[in-house]
Amino acid sequence: MKIRNLWITLVFIATGAVATAEKPDVVFIIVDDLNDYLGYLGGHPQVISPNLDKLADESMIFPQAYANSPQCRPSRESLLHGIHAINTGMYFNARSKVEQRRIGTPTMQQFFMDNGYRVVSGGKVDPRGPGRVGDVLFDRPGDPKPPKGALKYARGGRVSDGYPLDAKDEEMSDYKVASWAIEQWNEPTDKPVFMSIGFYRPHRPLQVPKKYFDLYPIESIQRPAEPVGEDDWDDMPEFAKKLARSFAHKSLGGGMSNHEWIVENNIWEETLQAYLASVTFVDLQIGRLIEALRQNPRGRETIIMLVSDHGWHLGEKKHWSKGAIWEQTTRIPFIVSAPGVQPGSVSTQPVSLIDVYPSLVDLAGLETPDWLNGTSIKPQIADPASPRPPAISSYGAGNTSIRTERWRYIRYEDGSEELYDHKTDQNEWHNLATNPEYDAVKKELAAMIPKDQHPGLKVQDWFDAYQK
């Protein structure tokens, strides 16, 4: 039986009733550093992403989907174990001397293996690679490199390291991961299959074959929109400015932010070109896998979920990379395909990566463990307007974002705040936190911040450490 409904909100999930006698196959796809620069999400007007856009058309999408942490390690560990970073203190990629709670819950891979699945995992799924549990594991291969000395930007933590490679698709790691995943999908087995596949691009370095760069002539590249006649930072708290001027909370040499450095060196368009080329490249590789999934060799119902680990700034709010809890850093694709999903359906209710684990378990017809922090999206598949709790993103102890269907509220560790109304301000240009007219809204959203957060390391602790 072929997959009936393919959804792409950067999460593919199969829903609907599943006979207990035959468990469905489950395919989980995660992409590294992919923001909303996809045609169906409208993040950039020039992006070419036909395969993910087609998948979105065939599936159910959640355009209000968010990462719980704006860095790889805390985001992926939280997702795979089903435990929020605010409950573990694992807020950053770097490990700290502040004690973090050891995560004792099984990963998704272990859970599905314990429930009779053949588990295969390849590429970058957890922070280290494919994960440590599985019947078959495949580490991400290396990529070709530019000629020695060719890179003129990859230094000092700068984010502009794009370069068109003189290489074929077949030489790239994501191509090899997709090919491996296709082989595993077609492998005969009497067990249901749980696949977790991680694609690396558009993670840095932004280096893919030259033909993808050629799709985006440098003279045609459009920068992100900026407010006209005003400075986006005028109404931002000082702490937010300090965070935006750093690189993933680490200070940069030379006293210049990444944004200032990129503007001064006139490479904004070049960096956008490299990111867009990387998105188009990985879109094609994912498309190869999705086409193979459509030809189901075992005749089982199939659940597909596709997500990204977090978003990425490319000059929006004068910020680059990750390491913030604004819309562009946290928004991700979330797509779901499954039996019972209405193709083209949309839920604007907030979802986040903490909801992936319970959603896949619920959609597979398995009993959902009570220790999972997230909430299944199965009710939204039946009724897209069914309300959901807010998406919570955290970046260090005391830095928390609350995202509802309409609002984003941020409270920083020094007590400063931001409030944005996405009904009228999708770019988050106008901070309403100091406007007394919105005190009631702010109070309601602030009450949604969990009060028992793990008192782990703060961003200011990192600032202090790097200044010494």
| CATH at 176 | 3.40.720.10
| The pLDDT of residue 181 | 98
Mean pLDDT, 10 residues at a time, the chain of 468 residues: 39 36 91 98 98 98 98 95 92 75 88 98 95 95 89 62 95 98 96 98 96 98 95 96 85 79 92 97 98 91 97 96 96 95 97 98 96 97 97 95 98 97 98 98 97 86 70
Residue 405 lies in a domain: no
Domain containing residue 157:
25-228+266-389
Q: Is residue 18 part of a domain?
A: no
**Is residue 348, in this structure, part of any structural domain at all?**
yes
- CA dist 348 → 218, 219, 463 (Å): 34, 35, 36
Structural domain includes residue 354: yes
Q: Is residue 194 in some structural domain?
A: yes
- pTM listed for this prediction: 0.93
Closest CA to 114 of 125, 106, 126, 122: 106
**Residue 13 falls inside a structural domain:** no
Give the other-Cβ count within 10 Å of 166's Cβ: 11
pLDDT of 156 reads 56
| Residue 222: predicted pLDDT | 98
**Residue with the two structure tokens 């993910």:** 52
Residue 336 resides in a domain? yes
Query: How many domains does the structure of the chain reveal?
Result: 1
The answer to the question of residue 298 being in a domain is yes
